[in-house]
Structure formats: C-alpha cells, structure tokens
Amino acid sequence: MKFDTPAGTNPIDQLTHIGRATDRIDGRHKVTGTATYAYEWHDSMRHPAYGFIVGAAIAKGRIASLDLRAVKSSSGVLAVVTAENAGPLDKGDFNTVKLLAGPDVDHYHQAVAVVVAETFEQARDAAQKIEVRYVISDDGDFDLAVAKDSAPIAGSGYWGEPATSIGDFDGALAAAPVRLDATYTTPDQGHAMMEPHASIAAWNGDRLTLWTSNQMVAWGAGDVAKTLKMPREKVRLISPFIGGGFGGKLFVRSDAILAALGARAAGRPVKVALTRPLMFNNTTHRPATIQRIRIGATKDGKITAIGHESWSGDQPHGNPETAVGQTRLLYAGPNRMTAMRLATLHLPEGNAMRAPGEAPGLMALEVAVDEIAEELNMDPIRFRSINDTQVDPEDPSRPFSQRQLVECFRVGAERFGWSQRNPVPGKTRDGRWLIGVGTAAAFRNNIAMKSGARVHLDRRGKVTVETDMTDIGTGSYTIIAQTAAEMMGVPLERVVVRLGDSTFPVSSGSGGQWGANSSTAGVYAACAMLREAVAKRLNMSGTDAVFADGYVRANGRRVAIADAAASGDLVAEDTMEYGDLSKRYQQSTFGAHFVEVGVDAATLEIRVRRMLAVCAAGRILNPKSARSQVIGAMTMGVGAALMEDLVVDKRYGFFVNHDLAGYEVPVHADIPYQEVVFLDETDPTSSPMKAKGVGELGLCGVGAAIANAIYNATGARIRDYPITLDKLLSQMT
C-alpha cells in the first residue's frame, strides 16, 4: 500500500480499540517469567555451551601476540576464537569498526577473543588466562576539548546537512540590541539497560539461527550475513522480547557475531552475554558534545539571528551527535546558521542513544532560550510563544503538518501553576529548601518508515499477525493487536501477535520514535488487504463492508467473520510505503516540560519535586503505554541532567565508571510524581493511523527544564552537564 495523500476517514477512526488505555497483552508473560529473552531459550537447544568475551586492554594499537596454551588446557574449554582462526570476516553496514579486533585494535574493550566452555564459570576462568601482548599506538585521541579546534565539518549525517546558513547570521547578530553567546557541554553517556547484550547461536549445517537482543531484526540479519560472509537467506534472527534497547541494540554487536563464531568452532549451540563493563566500553554510547549557541533578538523579544554549533567525536568514518537539528525548526528567525563538527576520537563507538540529537541539543538550546529571555526581562514562555512558527523557518513554503507548541505551554503553565513562580532566582523557600521552577520545549521529528506485516484469519475467527517488529518494552504487542482488532472488527482476545523473527515480513523495527506509527501502519495495510479477501470470500462489496463485533455487514447481510475462513484460512501480506508527504509538510512532535526542584540551602543537594510533560504527538494509540514511555523518558532526563557521566580516562582512552556502581542512574527515591498530558491531535499526513511517536519526545527538553529550575532556585547557571554539587558550589561560595 502506498501512502501518498493525507488520510481521510478510515476504520481506525472507529476508536473501538485504538486510543484505549489497554493493558499490555504481554504483561502476564513479563511478570510470570515466561517472556523469553535472548539468553533464555533453554527449550530450543540441548546442552548449550557458554562463551566469554575477552576485551582489549588498550584503546589504540595492535595485538603483537596471543598465547592461548593455558586457555586450551583449562577444564571444560571447547574452543577459542580469535581473529587468527575466525576465518575471513567483513564489517557490517551499521558498525563503525569491526567487532573482532586483530591485529589492529580500534578501542578499549573491543573484542579480542571468545572462549567457549561447558559452563559459564569455566569460560570466564579460562578467559583470564589468555596472555595478550600489545603494541600501544602513541597517536590515540581521547579528549574532545583538545580535538575540538581541528575538527572538520561532519560528513552528511542521517538527519540532514552538517552545516546550514539562511540569511546573514553574522550581520544580524552584530546588529541585534540583545545578544547571547554561550557554550554548553554534555558528557559521554551509556545505555545501562537491564538486559545485557546477549545472544545464543546454533548452526544447522551452513544455516545459522541467532536468538539475540536486537531492535532492528532485518538490519541485524543483514549485518550478521555480511560480517560472516554468508548468504542472507541462511541467517535467521529471533528477538521477540527485549529488556531495553534505547538505541544501543539497533545494531548487531560482538555478542551476536562471537556467539556465531564460537558455535561454529565448538560444534555446539553457544550462549554469550556481555558483562556490564563490556556493555559500556564494547558497545555504543552517546558521545559527548560541546555546543555554542548565539542568539540575537530585538527588545520586544523577536529573534533576528540564531546559530547553533556542535562538536562531538567518534571513530574514523563515524557520525556526529546531531545536536543542532531541532534548532533548524523550533523557533522563527530570518537569519540562521547551524554546524556540526566531528573530531576523530579513539573511544568506543558513538551512536544512537535515547533520542539522539534532540536530547543533548535541547539540553543546550532550551537553557540558552531561558538565558536570553532573562536578558530581555521577559517570561520565558512568552518569549517562546513570540517566536513560534507554523512553517519551516528554513523553507516557509513547507508548513508544519501539526504544531501545537504554544498550546502545550499554555496547558502546562495552567496545570503546573506557572503564574505562582517567582522569576527572581533564589527567592522561594520551603524550610531549608530553595525552590525553583523551570520549563523547556520538547521537540522530536516524526519519521515514517516502510513497514510490512502478514495477517491470517482462521475458521475460529482468530486473527494472527506476523511481522519482524520488536518490542523493546514499549508495548508493540499491544498496539499491533489493537490495530488488527480495529481493522478486522474482532475482540482483542481473538488477536495473536507474533514478533521479532526474520522469517516474518520486514517491519520498521523499533527506534527513532518511528516504531509505533510505522509498524501499526504496516499492519493496517495487511489488514486492508485481508478485509478485501474476506469480503470477496463472502460475496460482499469490500468498499461497503463494515467489520465490527466479529461480523461483517454489507448489503443488508450480516455474516460472522469466521465464516470467511470456513473453507480454508485466509492470508494477506502487504507493506506500507510512503510518498512525498513528509517533504511537503514538516512532520514533528512537540511538547512542554515543567519541573520543580528543591536545593538544600546547606548541602546544595538537588531534589526533583514535581514533573509535568504536555505532549502533542498525533493520535495516541494507547494512552496507558504512551504514558509509561513518557514517564520513563522523563526519568532518563533526570539522569542526564543530574547524574549520568561516563568519565573518560584521557591517558588510556576508556570509560572508568563502566558498571552500575560507578555510573549513576536515577532510582525510585530520585523520581517524584510525574504527570503526563496528551493534547487531542491527529495528523493525517503522517500515516493512515494519524499517529506519530511519543517515547523520545518525553525525554527531549527535560534536562534543560531541570537546569532552568535549578537556576530559578539558586541563581547558579550551570552550563556543563551533569549538574552536580561541585559545580553548584563553585558558583555559590
């Protein structure tokens, strides 16, 4: 099915199932332990062996020699795989560097070997006996601040041009009566999801089955095949349940490839899970940024010039953190510039993590907006409203398909009690606590991805949906079931959803806030084809048929939908593809975050006391699961603002705090009551579902709202995240 004109009225608009706060249909499996995660396929193979990965002890250099004699004589060892005996390997399309080092080492904890043994303990013990002699390169670069000045403009990124210029930015900034020029930094951050990167590999002749924790099954199967230099049709990936991905499992990592190599060498199925330190240094992370923002405005608050430059680092041939993207679209202003510069750093790969681009970009931009509003002595919400735009600021011929940013702020201000806020910093107290209130805009682009599904109808009237879409904890099973039930007019309990298998039709996968809207649109397309087949089998007019309550009605007839499959199951498969609507309309999601903090006047301890997110993100398919995504994202925002910081050892090029003892993330005691409001909105230019995405929108802007609240509480303007006690002390003593 091709979606190339805005959606009109369609079966989804019945809202019998769609739009309802429906419980997770996979919830029982989760709480009873019957949801099978990647490391837990105990019934699918007999007597698996265990692999343990050895990570490189240097950041840049080469392996001079490997002594495996003690390993091979260790109890229970079945095989040891290194680059020397792995056979010819390629690099996957979605990997920046190879996943198995040798002889060159590209980053610390890059996999050097996998030891396969009868038990996990034997594999781990033997792995410690590998003797590796390295030659360390003396030209490793690990410090973004040092590499910044020589960093070139990045290559064309996956979200637009690396540098843009509209009008005369320099001239307009120089002429502006009110100006801001400030620099902000965000640190390297790690994923730290609960489920580690884990895989089980089993060979049947020259065919590989890989049970793995992966967000994008089709991408993963393709990269496994390319890396192992084998035909794509001989690789099967299975990933029905994922214990958190957040971008860190978009791409195949070393656990999958080394499980496959280990299984081939041992002649047995092999299980591999990365240890927590390897998750931080071996897999991808969010790279640090240095961001310079310059804004010029008239005395009545109109932006005349806005510029945003960002520096980040990655391995050679990597991509930048696209932190300037939202600045190209969020506020009006005739003179504009953005630039992304990419330094070569020999740290572990930087890549997508929790709303890449907008999340760190808004941590800077939305603080800068508050700062210039203060220079103008203007309420920051009023300043944002004055500079709202209903068209793409870089191309006024492209209107936003929907844009309710001002309404998000209006609703949020009323619900949060913004009018009670004292705009003078440090003037509101609650006993020993200095109280501050802050806000920030939320913004995330909408992306519609091609997505397919297959739908079966059997003689019992049961509808089964198959698609390689994944559920990373976001509720894919439920919204896909709701979509099929809505389209086919059957109760939800008569829908079965099967996900995460590369033998199923290729879906959008989970990532970039595109999963819900895109995957359900693919199910919509397949169900539309199945409706035609049902009507034809029942000798009804497909265009007039109404599917509801388990029946099909048309031309005065009412027939049970199960009757259509009485003579044999009906199967339909289709893919939703997209035309140029996203080029004709700027499709984005918007929101407003409000935060109240308390800062202890004696200790400067920071406590988040209240949080509110108001979101405008198209049709909300399931308010219950959508709220869960948003409050989870808000929690991540607290971590980014106050705690998360992968500390780089700039001598040896590794992340020091590579476990959950040293890498701090929020716990229950850190998070207050969180309120989420969804504005009533549909976007017919996005898909037949008229939805968009909301999971990453819930994170974008939270960090800035917290920073602005801390300033309102204390008068200390911290531009370097995370905002910690030492940084507050330096400004308040």
Q: What's the confidence (pLDDT) of residue 221?
A: 98
**Domain limits of the chain?**
2-13+448-579, 372-446+587-732
Q: What's the confidence (pLDDT) of residue 617?
A: 98
Q: What are the residues whose beta carbons fall under 8 Å from the beta carbon of 250, sequence distance 6 or more? A: 94, 214, 215, 216, 219, 351, 352, 509, 511
* Closest of 564, 550, 469 to residue 514, by C-alpha: 469
State the Cα–Cα distance between residues 581 and 590, nearest whole angstrom.
Answer: 19
Sheet of 104-105, strands arranged across = 104-105, 61-67, 131-136
Q: Which amino acid is at 124?
A: R
Q: Which amino acid is at 718?
A: I
State the Cα–Cα distance between residues 701 and 595, nearest whole angstrom.
Answer: 11
Does 332 score more than 90 pLDDT?
A: yes
Structure tokens at 1: 């099915």
Q: Which amino acid is at 60?
A: K
State the Cα–Cα distance between residues 367 and 372, nearest whole angstrom.
Answer: 9
pLDDT band at 158 (very low <50, low <70, confident <90, very high): low
| 2-13+448-579 against 372-446+587-732: fold identical | yes
- The helix or strand, by DSSP H or E, that contains position 673, with its residue range, turns out to be none
* Closest of 46, 70, 421, 435 to residue 269, by C-alpha: 46
* 653 within 8 A of 51, measured Cβ to Cβ: no
For residues 649-659, average pLDDT: 97
* Burial (CB count within 10 angstroms: exposed 0-12, middle 13-18, buried 19+), residue 179: middle
The DSSP output letter for 192 is -
For residues 271-282, average pLDDT: 97
Q: What is the pLDDT of residues 66-111, one digit of tens each?
A: 999 999 999 999 999 999 999 999 999 999 999 999 999 999 999 9
What fold is seen in the domain 2-13+448-579?
A: Aldehyde Oxidoreductase; domain 4 (3.30.365)
Q: What is the pLDDT of residues 507-556, one digit of tens each?
A: 999 999 999 999 999 999 999 999 999 999 999 987 889 999 999 999 89
* Burial (CB count within 10 angstroms: exposed 0-12, middle 13-18, buried 19+), residue 216: buried
Instruction: Establish how many alpha carbons lie within 13 A of residue 1's alpha carbon, considering only the half-sphere containing its beta carbon.
Output: 25
The active-site residue, picked from 366, 573, 596, 696, is: 696
Q: What's the confidence (pLDDT) of residue 730?
A: 92
* 241 within 8 A of 500, measured Cβ to Cβ: yes
Phi, psi (5° rounding) for residue 242? Answer: -130, 130
Q: What are the residues whose beta carbons fall under 8 Å from the beta carbon of 32, sequence distance 6 or more? A: none
What fold is seen in the domain 372-446+587-732?
A: Aldehyde Oxidoreductase; domain 4 (3.30.365)
State the Cα–Cα distance between residues 209 and 574, nearest whole angstrom.
Answer: 25
Q: Which amino acid is at 339?
A: A
* 125 within 8 A of 78, measured Cβ to Cβ: no
- The helix or strand, by DSSP H or E, that contains position 308, with its residue range, turns out to be strand 303-314
Please give the mean pLDDT across all residues of the chain: 97
Q: Tell me the residue length of the chain.
A: 733
State the Cα–Cα distance between residues 413 and 15, nearest whole angstrom.
Answer: 30
pTM: 0.98
Phi, psi (5° rounding) for residue 400? Answer: -70, 135
| Residue 696 known to be catalytic | yes
Q: What are the residues whose beta carbons fall under 8 Å from the beta carbon of 168, sequence distance 6 or more? A: 335
Helices 358-375/702-714 angle, 10° precision? 30
% of the chain at pLDDT higher than 90: 97
